[in-house]
Amino acid sequence: MGRKKKKVTESPEDPLNISQSVESVINHLSPSNKETIMVTLHGATNLPACKDGSEPWPYVVVKTTSEEVKNQNSKAVTSVPAEPTKAPTWGDTVEVEIQAEGAGQEDVVLKVVDNKKKEELLSYQIPIKYLRVFHPYHLELVMPNQSEKANEATAKTKLYATVVRKGSFIPCYDGCNYTALEDKLRERNEPLLNRLQGKPSVAFPMLSASGLPQGPTGENQPVDLYSALLAENSRLRAELDKSRQQSAPIILQQQALPDLLATTSDKFNLLAKLERAQSRILSLESQLEDSARRWGREKQDLATRLQEQEYGLGHPSNAIITDLPKLPLLESQRP
């Protein structure tokens, strides 16, 4: 951590380009076998002046120590303020990626650079190994300014930033039940052969109306997985029959796959029909629940009326008048 007067090759980015690029690619997880360091540069105070004493026109370059050693240019560069100042405000978010296996030996380097002379004003290094994964760190990076030792209130240069270290998966802790959408989708995209090594956790999967097994969320799993589960099911049942050593053999028949699953398009058509059937079932179940609730209300109303009649509680007077039969016209005209 120290001020180093050397030239920098990275140029500042346009603020609109930074916001669009970050919002379009922002993810909760980093790519596989990598870690992402997301840095939000809020602003700075009391920045040092340039070599010639002029006001700096600052922006920030974020890179790793390996990029620094190899003199590689970084794409994680903020924008510049509208005019030169010692107290800039950026509000830009940039990201750098590192290999997960070497994350413990890397540092994040934050360089404040003058836009006019491409001169490095100051630099900070943050060891990645001290950052917890997915924990946001709101940092106030402080560095003494040697040119202003007299006034302690203004003698410190400060850089304000938020740093988040993101991994390629969310660790599962005891007592916690959560996940992320990227983690779930990445698990779905894994090859099926990797997931079928060893015995499956469920020997007899739940079958849907079409005979295909359902996943944990109710969706139909692929036909290849179904075939593998059928083979494993048959093997386990055969071992069970041998262990029991019963005289009467148990004949087990497995449902054969239909011929219409020969091509990929037929598989997709069948899965689409199954989804429509499941949607229809859910709709009928909803209608059944509504009918049951309506029947319950009618039953409760009927029980209430029966209790009123049992205890001699009549209807209101207007209802009694309406239910009375009308007298004939001749009787109403008698003197």
Q: Render pLDDT for 1-44 as a digit per residue (tens, 0 to 9).
A: 444 456 777 777 766 565 555 555 567 788 888 999 999 999 99
Question: Residue 136: is its pLDDT beyond 80?
Answer: yes
Helices (H) and strands (E) in the chain, counts: 8, 8
- Res. 311: pLDDT tops 90: no
d(CA 261, CA 273): 13
Q: Which three-class secondary structure state does DSSP give residue 61? A: strand
Burial of 59 (0-12, 13-18, 19+ CB in 10 A): buried
Confidence of residue 223 (pLDDT cuts 50, 70, 90): low
Other C-beta atoms closer than 10 Å to the C-beta of 310 total: 8
Q: Residue 267 — very low, low, confident or very high, per pLDDT cuts 50/70/90?
A: confident
Average pLDDT over the chain, rounded to an integer? 74
The pairs formed by 218-226 with CB atoms below 8 angstroms and a separation of 24 or more are 218/278, 220/271, 220/274, 222/192, 222/267, 223/257, 223/261, 223/267, 224/192, 225/192, 225/196, 226/257
d(CA 29, CA 52): 44
C-alpha span between 272 and 25 (Å, rounded): 31
Q: Closest Cα partner for 113 from 99, 124, 100, 105?
A: 124
**2.60.40.150, 3.40.190.10, 3.90.280.10, 3.20.20.70: CATH of 15-166:** 2.60.40.150
Which part of the chain has CATH 2.60.40.150? 15-166
